[in-house]
Copies of this chain bind each other. A is one copy, B any other.
Amino acid sequence: MKDVIENKLKLRSVKPTAMRLLVLQCLMEQNRALSLNELEALFENADKSTIFRTLKTFQENYLVHRINDGSGAIKYALCDDDCICSLEDNHIHFLCTKCEKTYCLKDTPITTPNLPNGFRANFANYLIEGICSTCT
């Protein structure tokens, strides 16, 4: 288990510090997107800015992607191993308005529409709000 986590870091050339291992493990265990505050709450004695910088490092090295779900706080979720956060890697995110949890719907790829003339797309953030399967 710890090996899997360390490998994920090594794969992206990120040095495995204690904090990084913990945060990465957390993100792997929860299969959903977490906010900075949610992550902080899961640890008790870790500083928020350290977690913030951990996530920033992760993000810069394609270990996580950030999700703007309109909840006021940015959510972070694990990237796939081959993710480079390109337009092709973007996928739909779902925010349940009941349990307030945000999920990556990686099996539901984003279909980029035909844009008006002269518009070019680099990144897509497709967020669907509704009721999730456990809250139905």
| Number of copies of this protein chain within its complex | 2
Partner of A118, one of B113, B118, B124, B132: B132
Query: Cβ of A43 < 8 Å from any Cβ of B?
Result: no
- A120–B115 contact, CB under 8 A? no
Q: List 13 A-B contacts (CB under 8 A).
A: A105-B113, A105-B116, A111-B111, A117-B133, A118-B132, A119-B130, A120-B130, A120-B131, A123-B128, A123-B130, A124-B128, A125-B127, A127-B127
Distance A129 CA – B111 CA, assembled complex (angstroms): 14
Distance A113 CA – B107 CA, assembled complex (angstroms): 11
Q: With both chains docked as a complex, state the minimum distance between the C-beta of A86 and any C-beta of chain B, in angstroms.
A: 12
> Could you give, for residues 94-113 of chain A, a 1 whenever the CB lies within 8 Å of some chain B CB and a 0 otherwise?
10010000000101100111
Number of interface residues of A (CB under 8 A): 33
- B128–A121 contact, CB under 8 A? yes
- Considering the complex, give the chain B residue whose CB is closest to the CB of A126: B126
Distance A122 CA – B131 CA, assembled complex (angstroms): 8
